[in-house]
Structure formats: C-alpha cells, structure tokens
Amino acid sequence: MTTTNFTAAAAGLPFNSTANATFAAASLPFNLSVFNMVFSCEDFGKAVTSRGVFRNDNPLRRPVSFFLSQLGFAILLTALFRLLLKPLKQPRFVAEMLAGIMMGPSVLQIFGKEDFFVITSKETNMMNVLEGLGLITFSFIVGIRTDVSVIRSTGKLPWAIGILSFILPLSFVLLAVEFVKKSDPIGGFFLYWVGVLAASTSFQVTSFLLDDLKLLNSEIGRLAMSSALVSSIGSWVFTVYNSFFRWASYVSFQTADYLKMEIPRYLMILGIVFGLRPFMFWLMRKVPEGKSIKESHFFVMVVMFLSVSFLCEYMGYNAYFGSMILGLAVPSGPPLGSGVVEKLEMFISSVLLPAYIMNVGRYINVFKITAAHFTLVEAIILLAFLGKLAGALVPSLIGRMPFKDCFALGLILSSQGFYDVLFFKLYLRFNLITEEFYTILTVMAVVSESIMTPLISYLYDPSKRYLNYKRRTIQQASNENELRVLLCIYEEDQVFSLMNLLKASHPTRERPIVAFVLDLIELVGRDHPLFINHQFHQRQSSTLTRTDRIISAFNQYELRCEGSIKHQFYTTIAPYISMHDDIGLVALEKSTSLLIIPYHKSDTVSNIKGVVRNVIDKAPCSVGILVDKKIIMHWQSDSHNQSQFHVCVVFYGGRDSREALAYGMRMVENPAIRLSVIRLIAEDEFITDMLETKLDIKMIQDLRTMYEGNQRIEYREVIVKDGVETCGVLFSLDDQYDFMLVGRRLDSDSPLVAGLTDWSYVHELGIIGDMLASSDMKNSASVLVVQQQSTVEDLARKP
C-alpha cells in the first residue's frame, strides 16, 4: 500500500475515491477533517517526533513535542495559580482547574487563537491513553488511601448523615429528570447522567478539601470523613450497577448473559480479597518496623496493579473498577500502603496530573453554553446541593450540633473536586453527557468550590474552643490534690526522659500525677485520621508495635511508683499540619494543667516544629517544651544518686517565668532535688505593667518563705545592663545543673535581651530558652521552656 493509500485509509476513505487524487496532488504533510475529527496525512517516519525548527518543521504539530510543551505549560500555570490563590484560602482543585481552563478554547477563543493548538488524531489518542492511565492510577491510589475498616467503629450519626446525603440528592434529581423527560426525552437522557454525577459524593474529594482547610482530624473533619465514606460507598455501588444495567437493557441482555458477565466480576473480587490481600500481608511482614518498602515490593505491587487492570479490560469491565478494588485490598498506612502511595505520587503529580489538567481543559468551551441548557443543568446541580445539605443538616441538628457546624458540614459534603471531574470526563468519553453539559458541570464545580472553601473556613474554626475563662496552669494546680499532665511522644527514646521528668515533679499518694500519654504518628498512605483510646481498644496483633512498647514501659513505671503516678494512653494518627487539634482536644477534655512536648533543634524533625508552633499558639493549658540533652537520663532511681539531681530556674519576670518558677518550687518538695533560682534584673528597666511586677514580687516572696532554713534552695539576683551581659551570665553557668527551667516569652524591647533580637533564634524556644538549649553552653543540662496558658482575660488585656 502506498503512503497516499495508507493515509486515505487512515482517514476512512476508500482507495479509489476522488479524494485519492487530492491526496496524491497535495504535498505532505497536511490535515484533513472527517466527521469533525482532524487527521494528519504525512510520512509515517515523521509522524511522531519533530525534525526541528531549523529544518522548517513546526514542533507543535508533532505529538511528542506538543505533549511536552503542554505538560510544561500546565505545570507552570498550576504553580502560578496556587501561589496567587493561596492567600484567598482556595483549595488546590481550583488552581488546577483554572490552569486547565486557561489552556482550553474558552480562553484562546477570546484572543482569537482558537486554532493555536491544532489537535489531530495522534495527539487525541496520546491524550486519551494518558487519561485512561491517569484514571486507573488515581482509582488505585484512592482505594489505598481509603480505610473501609473504620465503618465498623462509625457511630449512628455518620451513618445517618452518609445515607441521607446519598439518598436525598439522588431522589431530588431523579424526580426532576423524570419531569423533564416528558417534554424532552433526548435532553432528559443527558440530564439523567448529569443528575447522577451531581448527586454523587466522593470520599477522596472530602479528604482533599479537609486537608487544604487543615481540618482533617478536627471533630467536624472526622464526622465528615466517616459520613463521606458511607455516602461514597453508596455512590460507587449505584454508579457501577446503574451503568451496567442500563447498558444491559440497551443491548437486550438475558438472565444468562447477565450471569455470564457478573460471575467473573465476583470471582475476581473474591480472588483479590482472599488471594492477593493475604499475600500483601505476608509481603508487609517482610518489612522491618519503621522501614520503608524495598524496590522489589513496589515492583510486585505495580505488577499486581497492571495485571488486575488488564484483566478487567479483558473481561469487559472498566480498568478503574479493578484498580479501585485492588487499592481497597491493600493494607492502609505504613509500610505497604504508604510506601506505594509515596512512590507513585511523584509520577502522578509530575506527569499524570498535568496531563489530565490540559486534557480536561481542552473540552471546556464556555461559548457552547446556551441559556436554556445552563438553566436546566444549574437546576439539577442546585437540587443535588440542597439534598446533600439537607442530608447533613437534619441528623446533625437532631444530634444537637451547633447550627454553624451543621451548615459547615453540609458544605463540606456538598463539595466537588478533581475526582468528580475525572468521572465528568469519563461520562463525556462514553457520550453519556454532551460537551456543553460537561463544561457547565466542570465550571460550576470550580465556582462552587471557590465560594464554599472560604465560607467553611469562616464558619468553623476549631481553635476557638481552646479559649478558656478558667486558668489551667501549674500555679493553679499547686492548690489542687493532683497534677494532670499531657505527655506527647513521637520517638521511643523520649519515654525515659519523660519518666524522669515525672519523677522530678514529686508525685505522692496524697498529691498524685495523672499523666495522659499521647503517641503522635503521622498520617501517611491513608485519608482517614484515627484517634485511639487504649483504655477501650484491644490489641489485635501479636506483634509488638511502637505504641505497645511505650504503653508497656509506662505501665511498668506506674507499678514501681506504687500509686503516686497514674497513666492513660492514647494514639493519634493525623497529618502534622493539624495534629495540634488532637493534642488540644485531649488537654481540654482531660483538664490538664501542663502539656509537655519534646523538641529537637535539628532539621530532621522540621514537621514536628510545626506541631510545636501550633501547640504553643492554641493550647488550652500551660505548655512545656522539653529539649532533652540526655543528661536527664543519668538520674537513676537508686538512693545513692537521688540527692545529686540539681534543678535551675532562670527567672526574669512575667507570666511564663512565674510558671517556670512554680514548677521548680513543686520539684524541690522532693527531698532528692536541689533548686537554684537565678533572677535576672535589668539595670535601667522601667516598670510598664504594675500588675505583672506585683505578681513577680509575690512569687519571689513565696520562694523566700519556702527556702528559709532549707539548705536545698539557693536564690541569687544578677543585675545586667544589656543582652551581652545576659549572655555572659548564662554562658558562665557551670555544669553542675541537671535540669533547667525557663519562661518562653520575653518582651523583645527589654534591656535583658537588647542587641540579641538581631540574631536569629528558634521562635518556639524564645530568646533565653534558645541560648540555654544551645550546644555552645558549657552547661549540658536538659531544658524545659515553659509558657503559661493565655485566658480570654489575658488576651483582652493585650494592647
């Protein structure tokens, strides 16, 4: 076959047609439009790659160079829109979709450049292949990140919200579509599928939205995730079987044909659940605890993913169905689920996501929208929105939730995102909706998301519940029978340090310490955060985990303390960006007076630094930041070493210094502890707050009363002129101290730190705390930087 006849056949024309003469006379390459599809007629060897502009070839007419240019442009536009929209609290979805719309005909036509990119059949095929690969990969990732097992522990309220938010919108839109079908059967057909898409709820979209809003592990976030999971399962089942039955009805399937199609589907699901899932658990046991999966493990998972996807296509099912089922079967979280997600995310974010963005935008053309169709589709979208809103509001109000929280929950469940657009595009490819309806659905999803996200952020602020009118401090707890402390742990080697700190706090049977131990674990490889109360949670695995070892260590310590210390254990699995919500919630519900969180100055735990920063800003009680130099571990429990533990308090006035001194005064009640208090006094400092000064003087007087006749307490005052002399005093401290207490906040205008604020320091530790924790200090004592809780009254007194 000649090149001319081959290109004619590719265009769908017979070899002997009149067009052959046109082909023969034309100079290659040229484009031909047949049934609105642009075909490129050219030499086969030059069909994919470009010869280059220096050989008079246009690279944008070749699939590879065209794809690369579009891919780079999509990445650049997405990054630009994310940067511009971040101050407006817009989610990632809005930025990504705006980038796709900017590259589509909607914008190009405004500037008269609608033919700037001529999309031929080669580019279309390449885009469709990437679209299909993107859809099945996204479905696989969504399945991995979805933990279906949480449904077993879901309460009645999430079930009620999830079921109603699925049934109500679907009922509303189907009734409206039936009404339209009476007058317009063809339009009613397309509107039916529009209604199905608008009424569906995506668990993944809810997760991404809550992650953008930093509400993933808030109270409303957990409720929304559980409700969205229930609603999404209903939507998935309805979508799969509704599509299948309508297709079966169209081709006049008999019962035998139905069984022939469905039995292999169920056999495949059973094979994944009872064959591949146990194999994945076996594979997971080969990975040492705390380690990531090997390349061989990832290779096996990719082979399984591609094999199941191919098997589904081979049997006549969509590949995304098999990839979703396989993803749901993968054990969520570390090491397997999180490892696969981590390795696939780079490929998704750098190739599949930008490719899909530009393919999505290519079909969005706002100039094809007519007023009549826009009104119909908008009415369907509005009915679906009202149904989801009602489905969330009614059970929540019955459950006596505040109306603002109920409304915010309804908005969260009504949101649509990138995963919904994937199915918009899939329905367009199967001609279930028109390009006009696809444009309206996608544009309205972007518009509604851009409005609802800032509105949700305004309606629900979890940090407001941490504002207290009652003080929860160490000073306040000194008059109470017990000291309630929250201990946060994110590394196992912090356990012994915290135990010794508890022991130094002088627990007795008359004045015990109740310690709430919270294990902090980052949420990776899954979308659903978890909060585990180990008083009610039974360990199901025979293998000891990090949390099990921590609980065992504290239980043994509690037995040795003989009733002076009591422990309760919790675990939070949440993103670091919002982990402070769980920490604050435990501190609030348990009425703790002190929250202690370890801290490292190294860059290896930069994520924990963000957690510490958020805890400092929003904690409902006093906060102690423990910088452990491991010296505290040398204090043993035997009687020969007990008298050697030496605590130093650096006091310079203010609420935080008084809190640090109050903690030191509690410690020195232990006969095994010696206390040194060093008070820094500025030579030329003016009194600006008489109330604070009086409280400082009273605190010192209480200390003087305590140390009269007590040889274990030492107090001295040092007068300094500026920050240089303050540094001299601190750096001159010898290595006799085992533990140092200091307040965190100090006015940067104070003469005590004059000249020091120009130097960089760790904000979480404060100026003085950063110096004491520095490796340049001669003293290698561990440091506890204390910040007293701020009440509403304190905030009102701020200028």
DSSP 91-116: -HHHHHHHHHHHTSHHHHTTTT-TTS
Element (H, E) at 715: strand 713-720
Rounded to 10 degrees, the C-alpha dihedral 69/71/73/76 comes to -140
pLDDT in tens, 722-763: 888 888 888 888 778 888 899 998 877 788 887 777 676 788
pLDDT of residue 138: 84
pLDDT of residue 759: 72
Element (H, E) at 230: helix 219-250
pLDDT of residue 563: 81
DSSP 342-380: HHHHHHIIIIIHHHHHHHHHTT--GGG--HHHHHHHHHH
- Residue 36 is given by DSSP the state T
3-state DSSP assignment of residue 571: strand
Whether the Cβ atoms of residue 349 and residue 92 lie closer than 8 Å to each other: no
Note the residue count of the chain.
Answer: 799
Whether the Cβ atoms of residue 426 and residue 135 lie closer than 8 Å to each other: yes
Q: Is the dihedral of CA 411, 433, 444, 83 positive or negative?
A: positive
Q: Which residue has the tokens 């001299």?
A: 728
- Whether pLDDT at 164 is above 90: yes
User: 566: exposed, middle or buried (C-beta count within 10 Å: 0-12, 13-18, 19+)?
Assistant: middle
pLDDT in tens, 569-615: 999 988 888 888 889 889 888 889 899 999 876 545 567 888 898 89
* Number of Cβ within a 10 Å radius of residue 309: 24
Cα 422 to Cα 138, 182, 184, 365, 438, distances in angstroms = 9, 30, 28, 17, 11
Residue boundaries of the structural domains of the chain: 3-47, 74-246+345-460, 474-536+545-797
Question: CB-based contacts of 798: which residues, under 8 Å, 6+ apart?
Answer: none
Angstrom distance (rounded) from CA 727 to CA 777: 10
Nearest to residue 768, comparing CAs of 609, 780, 777? 777
Angstrom distance (rounded) from CA 545 to CA 694: 51
DSSP 646-709: EEEEEE-SSHHHHHHHHHHHHHTTSTTEEEEEEEEEETTPPP--HHHHHHHHHHHHHHHHHHTT
pLDDT in tens, 279-315: 998 888 888 776 778 888 889 999 999 999 999 888 8
Cα 485 to Cα 476, 637, 666, distances in angstroms = 13, 21, 14
What is the average per-residue pLDDT within 531-541? 69
Angstrom distance (rounded) from CA 414 to CA 408: 10
Angstrom distance (rounded) from CA 442 to CA 598: 46
Residue 106 phi/psi, 5-degree rounding, is -60, -40
User: 405: exposed, middle or buried (C-beta count within 10 Å: 0-12, 13-18, 19+)?
Assistant: middle
Q: Which residue has the tokens 């006596």?
A: 400
Whether the Cβ atoms of residue 333 and residue 327 lie closer than 8 Å to each other: no
The residue with greater pLDDT, 488 or 129, is 488
pLDDT of residue 672: 84
DSSP 56-90: T--GGGSHHHHHHHHHHHHHHHHHHHHHHHGGGT-
Beta bridge partners of 489: 519
For residue 392, what pLDDT band results from cuts at 50, 70 and 90?
very high
Q: What average pLDDT does the structure give for the chain?
A: 80
* Number of Cβ within a 10 Å radius of residue 28: 13
Going by their DSSP bridges, the two strands 645-651 and 530-533 should be labelled as: unpaired
- Whether pLDDT at 382 is above 60: yes
pLDDT in tens, 457-488: 888 877 776 665 466 788 877 666 788 999 99
Angstrom distance (rounded) from CA 396 to CA 408: 11
* Number of Cβ within a 10 Å radius of residue 420: 22
Q: Is it true that domain 474-536+545-797 has CATH number 3.40.630.30?
A: no
- Whether pLDDT at 5 is above 50: no
Angstrom distance (rounded) from CA 547 to CA 553: 10
What is the average per-residue pLDDT within 674-683? 87
Element (H, E) at 517: strand 513-522
* Alpha helical stretches, state H, 579-635: 579-589, 606-618
- Whether pLDDT at 21 is above 80: no
Question: CB-based contacts of 108: which residues, under 8 Å, 6+ apart?
Answer: 114, 116, 117
Question: CB-based contacts of 313: which residues, under 8 Å, 6+ apart?
Answer: 319
pLDDT of residue 776: 75
Nearest to residue 620, comparing CAs of 655, 586, 573? 586
- Whether pLDDT at 521 is above 70: yes
Angstrom distance (rounded) from CA 376 to CA 436: 12
pLDDT of residue 304: 93
Beta bridge partners of 678: 650, 716
3-state DSSP assignment of residue 126: helix
pLDDT of residue 480: 67
For residue 254, what pLDDT band results from cuts at 50, 70 and 90?
low
- Among 64-68, 279-283, 508-512, 588-592, the minimum mean pLDDT is found in 64-68
pLDDT of residue 67: 75
pTM for the structure as a whole: 0.77
Tokens of 32: 């031909």
pLDDT of residue 525: 73
For residue 109, what pLDDT band results from cuts at 50, 70 and 90?
confident
User: 87: exposed, middle or buried (C-beta count within 10 Å: 0-12, 13-18, 19+)?
Assistant: exposed
pLDDT of residue 47: 61
Cα 257 to Cα 238, 262, 266, distances in angstroms = 20, 9, 15
- Among 121-130, 200-209, 649-658, the minimum mean pLDDT is found in 121-130
Tokens of 533: 């109360």
- Among 51-60, 104-113, 315-324, the minimum mean pLDDT is found in 51-60
pLDDT of residue 290: 67
pLDDT of residue 608: 83
For the chain, give the percent of residues with pLDDT over 70.
Answer: 83
For the chain, give the percent of residues with pLDDT over 90.
Answer: 16
In CATH, the number for domain 74-246+345-460 is 1.20.1530.20
pLDDT of residue 326: 92
3-state DSSP assignment of residue 465: helix
